[in-house]
Structure 1
Amino acid sequence: MKILHTADWHIGKKLHKHELAPDFDLFIDWLCQTISAREVELLLISGDVFDLANPSSEARKQYYRALMKLRKLDCKIILTGGNHDSPAMLNAPREILKELDMHVVGGLPEDLADTLIPIQNESGQNEMVIAAIPFLRDADLRSAAEGETYAERVEAVQKGIENTFHQVADLCKTHYPNVPALAMGHLFAAGMSTSESERDIQIGNLAAFEATHFGDYFRYIALGHIHKPQQVKALVPTFYSGSPIPLSFSEYADKKRVLILDTEKGYEPESIAIPSFRQLLKISGNLEALQFKLSELENSRALDTLIELILKEESYDANKILGFDQLVTEFQKPGFEIVKHRTDFTHKIQGASALYNQHTQLQDLKPKEVFEELISRHEYDTETQKEILAAFDELLEEVQSDDKTAADA
């Protein structure tokens, strides 16, 4: 049997207010082509189907459109909930989807046997069983006891994860003896490399689960939650497929993929690269370097390239800030969009209290005296310094006028 493992779709995700819906649509089209070309019979989606627990109507429509496209391929689908998903929302159409050979386990059921989904061959015999374990919430894993320490709570969560997987393994042995079993999971395994788009799981990263505690019963464990594709050090083949599209600028260099198992050959998966539909760029340098790098850009992707622009300068300079803001505002190049920009100064501005020695009290100084001391630390020419002081006087007068008006009211 050929099985495809993916996870962390995050439908409805926005990258700095920029919609990633077109990226997901292109991924689904590619996924359908891959399933058809590789004759995949089973699709595993290991959690975080949506980016928000209460997704928008557009995100829900995109989800159902994706399922209908996949359904046309006569491929069985098993989908579990992640920490971003609402179990109730995912489970709502479960009975209808089941009739279409799509199995959804949004949250941990009361009866763990309900996580077991048998896969039958053409003769109607059980060929395999999938333990579809969703994201395990704190309430699923332990009962809160008054007086527990933080360390004890973390240990209880970790032990709860271990017990859940072991109990499900025992159920597989009981209900489906001598049938290969695979497991799905959505959690943070110890030692994994993460990105800024991931939210901490359980009680922070200290609750990272030691993957050897999964045991050695399952032939393969298909994980979700970590967006960077990677293998987990465990007793059986255990992998994060990673997210199919970049979800943050920290993922700009990740090689996105899906994993395909051919059980006739074994349970080590083959990594299939997903085409890059959109490029995320981090561009940094001083003002002159940024201007040059932006002018040299060439787009070779189907979708607009999104840019994070970082101004790096030795010292704070109001003129450079003004020039940087102007560069961002006026940037117009087909196929490119600056969606995030920030400044990074090697020598940061001191706080007002740090401008004077410890014997000087800030409350004894006038605002203009503090400002004059601040700009004296920078190498402005005389004309620029006059313009800055004039602008400060104008702002100060406006603030004092507003304060007076408020006091007279």
Structure 2
Amino acid sequence: MKILHTADWHIGKKLHKHDLYPDFDLFINWLCNCIQENDIELLLISGDVFDLANPSSDARKQYYKALLKLRNLDCKIILTGGNHDSPAMLDAPGEILRELEMHVVGSLRENIEECIIPIKGKSGETEIVVAALPYLRDADLRSAADGNTYEDRLEAIRMGIQNTFFCAAEICKTKYPNIPALAMGHLYAAGVETSESERDIQIGNQAAFQASQFGDFFNYIALGHIHKPQKVNGLVPTYYSGSPIPLSFSERKDEKRVLILDSGKSWIPESIPVPIFRKLLKISGDLNELQTKLSQLINNSSLNNLIELEMIEEQYDATKLYELDKLIQNFNSPGFEIVKSRVNFKNKLSGASELYAGRPQLEDLKPREVFLELLAKKPYETDISKEILGAFDELMEDLQQQETPNEL
């Protein structure tokens, strides 16, 4: 059976207030062609389908249109929820989608057997079984008896994830003996490379899960959450497919991809690069260098390329700030948009001008980074600081996972 693994679509994502709807449409069109050309029978989507827990009506419409396009290819689909997704919203149409051979698991089921999905091949026999495990929330992993210290909470999360995968493996082994088994997961594995666009999970990524804790039963583990495509050093082939389109300027150099497996040949996937629909460009230099670089841009992308501009000067000069503003306002190169700019004066000055002296803007910082700055100014002991930071991380996760039921 040929299987395609993707994740982290983040439908509805905005990059510096710039909608990425057209990028996703082009990706889905390309994905449909890829599925047809490679005779894919099963599509795995490992979480973070949406960018927000309560997505806009446009984002929901794009999601259902994508599923219909994929359904027309006679390809079975298994989709799991991620930390950005609302479990209730994903699960709501589950009965209808199941009739279309689309299995959506937005939340971990009370009976974990409901997350184990057998997939029949062209012969009508079960050829693959998939443990479709979504993002495991705090309530799925810890009980009131798991301890109250920071380290206790971290260990409870790690053991909760491990026990969930072990339990899923045991069910697959017992109910579907001698049938290849795959697992899907949405989590932060220890040692992986991250980008700026991922949201910290499971106590600020501190409960990093060791890949060896997945065990050695599953033939392949299809992960989501990390946007940079990469292999995880587990006991079995374990991969992050990565996001199919760049979601931040930190991902501008990543080769976006999907992964294809052929169960009849190997469990090591083949990496298929996703076309570049638009470039994300970070252009740095002094004012003259910026003018030169902007004048030499050549467009060869389907969509407008987005530019992050950074002016770097030795000394503070208000005139150069004014000239930079003029340069941005008058920039009109077809196929390019400047969506962000910043200024860095190497020799910082005191007073009002220090506002321009390369300090990070508040909008560029994550809430955790702001809180760490505040915490560093307090004379707490290390253990107490850890407890406070852990509590902050848990509050942030609760806030991010809040749903608006009346809008679902």
Q: Is the 8 A contact 2:77 2:103 kept in 1?
A: yes
Q: Any idea what SS the aligned residue of 2:314 has?
A: strand
Question: What is the deviation of 1:147?
Answer: 6.2
Structure 1 runs of 4+ with >3 Å offset: 144-147
Q: In structure 1, what is the equivalent of residue 67 of structure 2?
A: 67
Q: How much does 1:350 deviate?
A: 2.6
Q: What is the SS of the residue equivalent to 1:31?
A: helix
Match of 1:19 in 2: 19
User: Aligned AA for 2:187?
Assistant: L
**1:91-138 CA-partner distances (Å, limit 9, x unpaired):** 010000000000000011111101100011234322110000000001
CA deviation map 1:42-77 (0-9, x unaligned): 000000000000000000000000000000100000
Letter in 2 for 1:251: E
Tell me how far 1:254 sits from its aligned partner: 0.5
The reply to whether residue 299 of structure 1 matches residue 299 of structure 2 is: yes
Pair 1:84-2:84 in alignment = yes
Q: Larger Rg: 1 or 2? A: 1
The residue matched to 1:33 in structure 2 has which SS?
A: helix
Q: Which residue of 2 aligns with 1:373?
A: none
The equivalent of 1:211 in structure 2 is 211
Q: TM-score, normalised by structure 1?
A: 0.85
Distance 1:146 1:269, change over 3 A: closer
**Residues 1:33 and 2:21 aligned together:** no
- C-alpha separation in 1, matches of 2:350 and 2:172: 63
Aligned partner of 2:135 in structure 1 is 135
Q: Equivalents in 2 of 1:230, 1:65: separation in Å?
A: 29
C-alpha distance in 2 between matches for 1:222 and 1:54: 25
Distance 1:146 1:67, change over 3 A: closer
- Alignment partner of 2:271: what SS? strand
Equivalence map 1:147-226=2 (5 Å): 148-226=148-226
Specify the code of the residue in structure 1 equivalent to 2:258.
V
**Cα distance in structure 2, aligned partners of 1:189 and 1:148:** 23
Instruction: Structure 2: state its 5+ residue gaps.
Output: 355-408
Structural RMSD (CA): 1.2
Query: Separation in 2 of the partners of 1:338 and 1:163?
Result: 48
SS where residue 347 of structure 1 aligns? coil
Q: Which amino acid aligns with 1:114?
A: E
Q: Distance in 2 between matches of 1:315 and 1:152?
A: 50
Instruction: For 1:264-303, list aligned pairs within 5 A.
Output: 264-303=264-303
Which structure has the higher relative contact order (CA within 8 Å, separation 6+)?
2
Mean alpha-carbon deviation: is it higher for 129-138 or for 339-348? 339-348
Per-residue CA shift, 1:360-386, capped at 9, x if unaligned?
xxxxxxxxxxxxxxxxxxxxxxxxxxx
- Unpaired runs of 5+ residues, structure 1, are 355-409
The answer for the alignment partner of 1:380 in structure 2 is none
The one-letter amino acid paired with 2:237 is P
Alignment of 1:323-334 (within 5 A): 323-334=323-334
Tell me how far 1:187 sits from its aligned partner. Answer: 0.3
The one-letter amino acid of 2:16's match is: H
> In the aligned structure 2, how far is the partner of 1:117 from the partner of 1:304?
41
1:164 Cα deviation after fit:
0.5
Q: Letter of the aligned partner of 1:274 in structure 2?
A: V
What CA distance in whole angstroms lies between the structure 1 residues aligned with 2:88 and 2:38? Answer: 33
1:174 Cα deviation from its structure 2 partner: 1.4
Q: Partners in 2 of 1:144 and 1:288 — Cα distance?
A: 61
Shift of the 146–164 alpha-carbon distance from structure 1 to 2, 3 Å rule, reads: closer
Distance 1:339 1:37 in 2: 36
Report how far residue 349 of structure 1 moved: 2.6
Instruction: Compute the displacement of 1:347 (Å).
Output: 1.6
Deviation by residue 1:380-401 (Cα, 9 ceiling, x = unmatched):
xxxxxxxxxxxxxxxxxxxxxx
What is the aligned length? Answer: 353
Aligned residue in 1 for 2:110: 110
Q: TM-score, normalised by structure 2?
A: 0.85
3-state SS, counterpart of residue 160 of structure 2: helix
C-alpha distance after superposition, 1:257-303 (max 9, x if no partner) = 00000111110000000000000000000000000000000110000
* Equivalent AA in structure 1 for residue 93 of structure 2: P
Secondary structure, aligned partner of 2:206: helix
The equivalent residue for 2:369 is none
Q: Using the alignment, how far apart are the partners of 2:126 and 2:10 within structure 1?
A: 32
- Give the corresponding residue for 1:5: 5
Rounded to whole Å, the distance in 2 between the matches of 1:349 and 1:171 is 65
Alpha-carbon distance change, 213 to 351 in structure 1, aligned in 2, over 3 angstroms: farther
